[in-house]
Structure 1
Amino acid sequence: MKLFQQLLVAPAALGLLASGANAADLNINGVSDYSASEEQVTSITQFSDVYPTDWAYQALANLIERYGCVAGYPNGTFSGNRAMTRYEAAALLNACLDRITEVTDQLRRLIKEFETELAVIRGRVDGLEARVGELEATQFSTTTKLKGKANFVMGATKALGDNPGNMKDDYNAEYGAFTFSYDLRLGLKTSFTGKDLLFTRLRVGNQGDASVWDGNGVGLNKLDTGAPGGNAVEIDRLYYRFPLGSGFKAQIGALTRNTEMMGYKASAYAKGGQKVLDFFGGSLGTPGVWNKETGSGFGLIYTNKKSAGKGNPYWTLAANYIADSGEGEDSNPNSGGFMTDNSEANITSQIAYGTKRWGLAAGYRYGQCGAKFRTGTEFAGKGDTSCTVENKDGKEVRSDADSHNWSLHAFWRPEESGMIPSISAGVGASYSNGNDDWEDATEIREMASWMVGLTWNDVFQKKNALGAAIGQPRFVTKVDRKGESDFVADGNYAMELWYKFQVTNKIAVTPAIYWLSRPYGFETPDDKSVGVFGGVVQTVFKF
C-alpha cells in the first residue's frame, strides 16, 4: 500500500488535512513517484528499528499481518519515535479503512446467499427515501408542527326538584333538549431556535348562546371544552415563549392565558382522562385564582427543576399580567387599553413545590375593576367589581373596585396504577373592595370554593381511566346589606363521574354524568330545592 497515494485519491483522508495546508502546497508528481517506488511491508521484521521489546510491537504486527496497511520509509525504518504529520496520519487511516472494507470471498458468498433479502431491504430503503422526499417537498413549513383535536359532544341536562315560580319548568323548556355539538382546535407550534415557541391556535365550534355546554341555563353547566358558537373560526391563542437565562422562561402575546403561565399545575385530576365540568377541569376548583383569563399580556416563569436532579422535588415561581381580551387592544383609555385603569387586568402569581407524583402550590390573583371570577352559583355571579357604579344621585361614578383572590392546591399520585387513585384538592377564597359609592351600590364582599377529585388510571384496560369529583363551586360567604340581615345560604354542591374508553391511540370516548344540587344558590326561594342533572358523551379525536 502506497503511503501518499492513498492520501491523494481518498476524500475521507483529505478531510483530515491540517487547516493551514491546501492541495496547492503539495508536489503531487514527486509524491506519486515516491509512492510508486515503495514496496508494501508484509512482515514486521522488515523494519530495522522495531524490536519485540517495544511497547507497540504487537499492535503494529497485527496491523501488518492482518490488514497489510502499514508502510515504512525507503531506508527500511518505521521511525516510531518521530512525530507523525497529519498527512501521514490521514494516509495510514485511509489505507487501513480500505483494507478492512475489502470484499472477501466469504463476504461474497454471504451476499449471494442473502441476495433476495438484500434486494427487499434496498427496495424498502428506496421507498422510504421517496416518501421522505415527497414529505419534504409538500410540507408547509420546516419549523412548524400542527396538532389537532376534535371533540364531538352529545348530551342533555334537566332541572329536577321543586318548581318555585315555575323555575324548573322554565329551565327545561329552554335548555332541556338533547344536543349534538362540536369543538375543534388546531394548534400551530413554531420554533426558530429549538428552545423557543410561537404558538397559534385556531378554534371553531357551535356551542354558543343556545348551548348549555357554554354555561347557559346555569353557569355551572359550562364544560371544560365548551367552544364558541356560530361555526366561525377564530384565533384564541397567539403568544411567544422563550428562555431567559438559567431556569427562566418568558412569555408574551396578544392572546395568552394567565393559567397557562403558572409553570406548574398542582393537580392530577383527570390526568390520563377527559375533563368534564369547567369548575373541576381548567379552574381546578378555585375559579377565583384559576379564572382562565385570556388577553394581551406577559409572564415570567422560574424553576430549578434541572439543578434539583431527576425525580427530586423542585420549586416553580410564576407571575403574569393579562389585560382582558376586548380591553387590551382598545385604544380608548376610558373603556380599555393595555395597563390602564380600564384594562380589566389580572395579575396572577403562584409558588409551587413538588414532583410529577406530588405537589403543593399557593396562588394569588389581583383583579382590577371589571376582572372576571369565572364559574359559581347564579347568586355569586352577581359579585360585581365594575369600574363604575351609580351613586345615590343617579350619576355614573368610578367605583375603585378590585378583588384579592387566594388558592391552595395539593395532589398525590400512586407510583403504579391500581386500586388506589390519585388525589387532588383545592380551596380558594375571594375578597372584593371598593370606595363608598361601590359599597352603597353592591352587597357581595367575600366568596369561597373547594374541590376534591379522584382519578384511577388503566381501569379494566390499559389507558382507560375513571374519575370522580365533588366540591362547592364559588359561593358567597359574606354580604353587607344596609339595615338588613347579612345572612346568606348560597351553598351548592357539584359532583361528576366519568369513564374514558381509549378506543385507539388517537380516539377516546368518555361518557359522564354530573349533578348540581343548588346551582341558583341564594337565588333559590326559601325551603325549596332546584337542581340540575347532566349527562354527556365526549368523543375526542387527536391528530
Structure 2
Amino acid sequence: MSFKFTEVAVAQSTVAQSRIVEPDFAPEQVIDRSEGMPIEDRSQESGFPERQPTGVRSQEPEAGSVVAVDGAMGGQVTSVSQLSDVQPTDWAYQALQLLIENYGCLVGYPDQLFRGNRALTRYEFAAGLNACLNRMQQLLATELERYATRAELAVVERLMSEFAAELAALQSDITNLEQRFANLQSASTLRLQGETIFAISEVLAGDEEGLNNPVLQSRTNLTFDASFSGEDRLRATLEFGNFERFMLPESTNEGRLSFATGTDEGEIGLDTLSYEFPAGEDITVLAIAKGGNLNDFITNINPLSSSGTATISRFGQRNPIYRGSGFDVGTGIGANIFLLDDLSIEVGYIAANSSNPSLGNGLFNGGYGVIGQITATPEPLELSLTYAHSYVPDGGNSTGTGSIPATVEVEYTDAENTRPVVVNSYGLGINYAINDGFQLGGWVGHSAVRAIGLGDADVWNYAVHLSFPDLGGEGNLGGIIVGMEPRLSGTTPGLGAALGRRRDLDVGLHVEGFYRIALSDNLSITPGLIWLTAPNHNAANPDVLLGTIRTTFRF
C-alpha cells in the first residue's frame, strides 16, 4: 500500500526553512552486523537521538535553525540515486538498518538477529524501505511524539526522495499482484484427494461355529472438490471396495468396522454429491444431492471419528443417533449458523427417496430425517446437545450398530415389509482436551421409538473415549473406546409381544483399542482390537474378539 508520510510535514512545520542533510552518525558508529545482535537490544546503539516519553522533548531546535544531520560523516556524500546497488557502507543502508531495529519492520533470522552486511539492489532496498514506511505509518498515526524524532522524520523523507522511482514501481507491482491474486481467487479450481485402505481382519475369538475366516479387504475414496468463488465447494466422492461383514452371534450389528463400504466388489459408485456455500457472514448452507445423512449437517466433537485414520469400529465414530433411522443415504439441505465464534446452531433435513415420484416417496412424502444441534467449543472444552426426528416407512430404527432388537423391526403378517416407525432421539456429547497429549470425552444417546399401531420402545447407548495425540511420535494416535452399543431397554406390552421380548436380556459392552503409527504424512498403519461382551446384549453368547491391521494411504 502507498505510504502517505504526512507526519513529515508536521516535523517540517516545526523546523521551518531547515535544510536536510545526512544523518548524524559516523561510519565507525555503525554496529558490526556480521555477528548479529538481538533486535530488541539495539535501541541504545541507534544513531538516532534517544527517544523520550510522550510529551517530553530534548534539545528542541529553535524556529529557523538547521537540523544538523551530517555531523561526523563530513564532506560531500555521493547521492544514493547515482548508485546501482546500495552497499552496507552507504548512509542509506545504515539508515534503513536503524529504522528496522527501531520499528521492527523486517523479520530477521530465526534467532531474531538482523544481519545487514550484504549489498542490495535498489529494488530490494526499496522493498525493505516500503515495509518500514508502512510500519511507521501504523505507529505514527496515533503516537507521533512517542515513536518518532525529528531527525528520523528528516532521514525518512530523504530516503523517500532518493528511492521515489523504486517505491512507485514497487507499488505498481503490488497492485498488479493483488489483481492477479483476486483473479485466481475468483477463478474456478478443482482439487483431487484420495484415500485407499487395505485391512487384514479376523474374528480372533467367539466364532464357535467357524463361520468366519481371515480376510484382506480394501476401500478407495476419490474426492473431487471444485470452487467457483473461493468460498464455496462442490464435492463429488467416488467409492469402491470389497467389504463383507463378519457373521457374529445372532447377526448382531455390534463390532462392525468403520471403514467397511456398502459397494459390491468391483463396483465404482458415486458415494456423495454436495454443494456448500456461505449465505452471509455467519451462515453456511450445505445442499446434498446424493449420499447424505443426518451426521453430515452437524459437528462431531469426537476426535476419534475418522474411519481411515482413527477408530476401527462404526460405533466408535459417533453417537448412533446421528446416523438417522432406517436409511443410510438421502438428499437434503442444512445450515450452520454461528451465533458466536465458539457457539453455533446446526440444522439439517434428509429425504430417503427424493428422486422417486411415486406415492409415498419424493422430497416430502416418504421417509425423512431432521436434526438440530447446539455446539459450543470454548477451548479446551467442547459440548453438543442434539435432537433428531425420523419417520421410517420400512426398516425400523436401524443405525448399523447395536443389537437386533434395538432396531425395533416388526414385520407385517405378509413378511414383505416392516411396520413404519417414528423416532425421536436426544444426545449429549462432550470432549475435553486435558493437555496436548490427552483428551477425554464421550456421549449418551436415547431414542424413543414408536412402531405405528403397536406401541413404544426405548433404546439407549453411551460411550467414553480417550485419545492420545502424538503418542510415541508426531502424527501417531492412540485411542480407547468403552461403551454400550444401542440396546433395547424396554417396550410397551403390545410391541414387546410382537418383538418376542420386552427388552434385551443383558448388557453387553464394546471395548476398543487402537494405535495409529504415522510412517509419513500420507501413510499410516493402525492395529486395533474390538472386544464384545455378551454380543447382541445376551450373556448366553460367547464374548467376541475382533482384530484388524489397517493400512491407510492418503494422496
TM-score range, shorter chain: 0.5 to 0.7
Q: Paired residue for 1:533?
A: 545
Indicate the residue corresponding to 2:391 in structure 1: 368
Partner of residue 526 from structure 2, selected from 487, 495, 510: 510
Q: Match of 2:81? A: 67
2:17 alignment counterpart: 54
1:234 aligns with 2:266: no
**1:357 match:** 380
Q: CA deviation at 1:379?
A: 3.0
Task: Find the structure with the greater CA-based Rg.
Answer: 1
Structure 1 match to 2:253: 219
| 1:285–1:223 Cα change, 3 Å | same
Structure 1 distance, partners of 2:550, 2:477, is 14
Contact 2:219 2:241 (C-alpha < 8 Å) held by counterparts: yes
Instruction: Report the CA distance between 1:349 and its aligned residue.
Output: 0.9
Structure 2 counterpart of 1:322:
350
Matched, 1:411 2:431: yes
> Match of 1:333, as an amino acid?
L
Task: Give deviations 1:251-272, integer Å, cap 9, x for gaps.
Answer: 1121253445444222233679
Tell me the equivalent position of 2:513: 497
Q: Which residue of 2 aligns with 1:458?
A: 470
Aligned equivalent of 1:201, options 237, 240, 243: 237
> Is the contact between residue 269 and residue 423 of structure 1 (CA under 8 Å) also seen in structure 2?
no
In the alignment, what sits opposite 1:430?
A: 447
Instruction: Name the SS of the counterpart of 2:535 in structure 1.
Output: coil
Cα distance per residue 1:164-211 (max 9 Å; x no partner): xxxx544x22xx200001010011111100000001100000014xx3
Whole-Å separation in 2 of the counterparts to 1:291 and 1:424: 27
Distance 1:98 1:318 in 2: 49
Pairwise CA distance, 1:232: 0.6
SS at match of 2:454: helix
Cα 1:207–1:216 change in 2 (3 A) is: farther
User: Shift of the alpha carbon at 1:464?
Assistant: 1.5
Map of 1:144-183 to 2, 5 A cutoff?
144-158=190-204, 160=206, 169-170=208-209, 172-173=210-211, 176-183=212-219
Contact 1:257–1:292 (CA<8 Å) still a contact in 2?
Answer: no
Q: Are 2:330 and 1:295 aligned?
A: yes
What is the alpha-carbon distance in structure 2 between the residues aligned to residue 99 and residue 280 of structure 1?
60
Amino acid at match of 1:495: V
SS at the partner of 1:512? Answer: strand
**Cα distance in structure 2, aligned partners of 1:414 and 1:303:** 26
Asked if 1 retains the 8 angstrom alpha-carbon contact of 2:397 and 2:423, the reply is no
Which residues of 2 match residues 116-135 of structure 1 at below 5 A?
A: none
* DSSP 3-state at the match of 2:483: strand
In the alignment, residue 463 of structure 2 is paired with which amino acid?
A: M
SS in 2 for 1:362: strand
| Cα shift at 1:230 | 1.7
CA 1:199/1:150 → structure 2, altered by over 3 Å: closer, same or farther?
Answer: same
The 3 A distance-change label for structure 1 pair 345 and 56 is farther
Sort the Cα spacing of 1:218 and 1:478 in 2 relative to 1 into closer, same or farther, 3 A. closer
Say whether the 8 Å CA contact 1:68–1:99 is kept in structure 2: no
Write the letter of the residue equivalent to 1:54. Q
Amino acid in the other structure paired with 1:411: N
Letter in 1 for 2:194: G
Residue 219 of structure 1 deviates from its aligned partner by: 1.6
Which residue, 471, 492, 498 being the options, matches 1:480?
A: 492
1:519, distance to aligned residue in structure 2 (A): 2.2
Deviation at 1:245, TM superposition (A): 1.2
Q: Deviations over 1:317-370 (max 9, x none)?
A: 11111112xx22112123x21111x2x211011111123532111111101123
Q: In the aligned structure 1, how far is the partner of 2:249 from the partner of 2:379?
A: 32
Query: Which residue is 1:542 aligned to?
Result: 554
CA distance in 2, matches of 1:169, 1:502: 36
* Superposed counterparts of 1:267-346, under 5 Å: 267-269=302-304, 274-281=310-317, 283-284=318-319, 286=321, 293-305=328-340, 308=341, 314-324=342-352, 327-334=353-360, 336-340=361-365, 342=366, 344-346=367-369
Q: Go from structure 1 to structure 2 and tell me whether the alpha carbon gap of 1:322 and 1:55 turns closer, same or farther (over 3 Å shift).
A: farther
Q: 1:252 to 1:194 in 2, by over 3 A?
A: same
**In 1: Cα distance, 2:418 partner to 2:546 partner:** 41
> Deviations for 1:442-501, whole angstroms, at most 9, x for unmatched residues?
xx6110000001111222222222111110000001122359784642422111111111
Distance 1:479 1:187 in 2: 43
Letter paired with 1:449: N
Is the Cα contact below 8 Å between 2:406 and 2:488 reproduced in 1? no
Distance 2:168 2:420 in 1: 86
Number of positions where the alignment pairs a residue of Structure 1 with one of Structure 2: 393
- Asked if 2 retains the 8 angstrom alpha-carbon contact of 1:240 and 1:251, the reply is yes
Distance apart, 1:99 and its partner CA: 13
Residue 447 to residue 63, structure 1, CA distance change in 2 (3 Å): farther
Q: Are residues 96 and 408 of structure 1, via their aligned partners in 2, closer, same or farther at CA, if it must alter by over 3 Å? A: closer
Number of the residue aligned with 2:133:
none
Shift in alpha-carbon separation, 1:290–1:462, aligned structure 2, 3 A: farther
Question: Aligned partners of 2:321, 2:357: CA distance in 1, in Å?
Answer: 32
Cα pair 1:67 1:96 within 8 Å, conserved: no
User: How far 1:536 moved relative to its partner?
Assistant: 0.3
Task: Give me the identity figure in percent.
Answer: 16
1:286 and 1:426 in contact (8 A); partners too: no
Tell me if the contact between 2:252 and 2:404 (Cα under 8 Å) persists in the aligned partners: no
Partner of 2:405: 380
Distance 2:445 2:208 in 1: 33
Q: Name 2:279's counterpart in structure 1.
A: 244
Give the TM-score taking structure 2 as reference length: 0.63
| Cα distance in structure 2, aligned partners of 1:66 and 1:502 | 56
Structure 2 gap ranges (5+): 1-14, 23-68, 71-75, 84-160, 171-186
- Post-superposition shift, 1:249? 0.5
- Tell me the amino acid that sits aligned with residue 231 of structure 1: G
CA 1:424–1:291 in structure 2 vs 1: closer, same or farther (change >3 Å)?
farther
Does the C-alpha gap of structure 1 residues 197 and 395 become closer, same or farther in structure 2, counting only changes over 3 Å?
closer
TM-score, structure 1 length as denominator? Answer: 0.64
Cα 1:215–1:506 shift into 2, 3 Å: farther
C-alpha RMSD of matched pairs (Å): 3.9
Q: 1:261 to 1:215 in 2, by over 3 A?
A: farther
Q: Aligned partners of 1:402 and 1:530: how far apart in 2? A: 33
C-alpha offsets along residues 105-158 of structure 1, whole Å, 9 cap, x if unaligned? xxxxxxxxxxxxxxxxxxxxxxxxxxxxxxxxxxxx961100100010101115
Change (3 A) 1:290 1:503: farther
The alpha-carbon deviation at position 221 of structure 1 amounts to: 2.9
TM-fit CA distance, 1:275: 1.5
**One-letter amino acid of the structure 2 residue matched with residue 67 of structure 1:** S
Q: Is the 1:494–1:516 contact (alpha carbons within 8 Å) kept by the matching residues of 2?
A: yes
Distance in 1 (alpha carbons) for counterparts of 2:220 and 2:531: 26
Query: Given the superposition, is the C-alpha separation of residues 157 and 395 from structure 1 closer, same or farther in structure 2, using an over 3 Å criterion?
Result: closer
